[in-house]
Amino acid sequence: MIVIDGRKVAEDLKNELKTGIEQYRRSIGKVPGLSIIIVGEDPASQVYVRNKAKTCKELGIFCRIIELPPETSQEALLGTIAAENLDPDIHGILVQQPLPPHIDEFAATIAINPSKDVDGFHPENLGRLVMGHLDSCFVSCTPFGILELLERHRIRTSGMHCVVVGRSNIVGKPVANLMLQKHGAANCTVTVCHSATEDLTFFTRHADILIVAVGKPGFITADMVKKGAVVIDVGNTRIEDPSAKSGYRFAGDVDYGSVSAVASALTPVPGGVGPMTIAMLLKNTVLSFKRVNRL
C-alpha cells in the first residue's frame, strides 16, 4: 500500500513557490501579498492563521493579519474587506471561518473581490469551476490539494469511479465538481453521498477513488472499501488523548488501521491532505500575483 505523503508534496510545492517568488522579487521588485482577516478568538482558527502567516514568511510572501474583536459588526467587517480589495499590495484575501454567529458568512464571502478570493469560496469562482474554466478561477484549497496529491502520485483517475462522502461548500461540492471535469488529473465518474444516503456502504464499495470529508473520526471502515481503492481522508477532528503530550490528537474520517489492509493508497492523518491546504492557498496567492503582473 502507498502512503500518500502530503507533507513531502507540500514541501516540494512550497520550495517551487519560494524559488519563483525570489525571482519575481529580483526581476520586478514585487512579491505576492496575502491578507488574513480573523474575527474573534476561536483557538483552532488562531492556530491555522499563525501557521499560514509562518508559511508566508518562509516563502517570502507579504502577509497582513487583521485581527478584529469578536463583537465586530458585519458592516465593519465588510468595510475591512473593501479596503483590502482596493490595496494593490494585496493579491489574496482570506476571511477565516468560522465567523461569530451574528455575521453572515455568505455576505463576507461575496464581499471579497473574486480576483483576490484565494480560498475559492466566491460563487464566481465556484461557478467557473463547475463550468470547467479552471484557468480563470481559484479552485478552493483542499480540493485543489487533493488533485495535486493524485497528480504527483500518478494515480489514474480518468474513467475511474470517484465517490465523495460529504457535501460541504468547502470540500464535498467543489471536489466532486473538480473530479468530474474533463481534465487530465480528474475526468472521473462521480457519485456524491451524504448524511441522508441510504446504504452508504453500497456506494463506497463501488469507489475506485474514495474521498471522505464528514468530520467523523474512524467513520470509514475496511468493510466499506473496495480492494485496491485509493482513499483520501479529509477528516481532521481534534479529539482528547490523555497519552499525547498536548492531551489531544487529530483523527481522520478513515479507520487507518483496517483500511490500510484493503486500499492501494491512503492519505494519513496527520500528514496527508492537511499540509496541502496551506500550500495550495499560497499557490493561489502566487497565481493571483502572476495574473495581476502578467507573469
The minimum distance between CB 98 and ligand GUN, in angstroms, equals 7
Contact segment (CB under 6 A) with ligand GUN among 16-24, 75-83, 95-103, 233-241 equals 95-103
Contact segment (CB under 6 A) with ligand GUN among 25-33, 88-96, 209-217, 268-276 equals 88-96
Give the 3-state secondary structure of the chain: CEECCHHHHHHHHHHHHHHHHHHHHHHHCCCCEEEEEEECCCHHHHHHHHHHHHHHHHHCCEEEEEEECCCCCHHHHHHHHHHHHHCCCCCEEEECCCCCCCCCHHHHHHHCCHHHCCCCCCHHHHHHHHCCCHHHCCCCHHHHHHHHHHHHCCCCCCCCEEEEECCCCCCHHHHHHHHHCCCCCCCCEEEEECCCCCCHHHHHCCCCEEEECCCCCCCECHHHCCCCCEEEECCCEEEECCCCCCCEEEECCECHHHHCCCCCEECCCCCCCHHHHHHHHHHHHHHHHHHHCCC
**Is residue 94 involved in binding ligand GUN (CB under 6 A)?**
yes
How far is residue 96's CA from residue 46's CA, in Å, rounded to a whole number?
9
Contact segment (CB under 6 A) with ligand GUN among 15-23, 69-77, 92-100, 176-184 equals 92-100
Which listed residue (141, 150, 160, 213) binds ligand GUN by CB under 6 A? 141
The minimum distance between CB 96 and ligand GUN, in angstroms, equals 5
Nearer to ligand GUN, 6 or 263 (CB): 6
**Is residue 95 involved in binding ligand GUN (CB under 6 A)?**
yes
**Is residue 96 involved in binding ligand GUN (CB under 6 A)?**
yes
Nearer to ligand GUN, 10 or 225 (CB): 10
The minimum distance between CB 217 and ligand GUN, in angstroms, equals 17
Cell 488529473, residue located: 185
Nearer to ligand GUN, 94 or 263 (CB): 94
Residues 221-280 within binding reach of ligand GUN (CB under 6 A)? 277
**Is residue 119 involved in binding ligand GUN (CB under 6 A)?**
yes
**Is residue 17 involved in binding ligand GUN (CB under 6 A)?**
no
Q: Annotated catalytic sites, by residue?
A: 52, 96, 119
Q: Which three cell numbers, joined as nine digits, stand for 290?
A: 502572476
Which listed residue (97, 237, 258, 260) binds ligand GUN by CB under 6 A? 97
The minimum distance between CB 230 and ligand GUN, in angstroms, equals 23
Nearer to ligand GUN, 171 or 185 (CB): 171
Contact segment (CB under 6 A) with ligand GUN among 89-97, 172-180, 251-259, 283-291 equals 89-97
Residues in contact with ligand GUN by the rule CB under 6 A: 94-97, 119, 141, 277
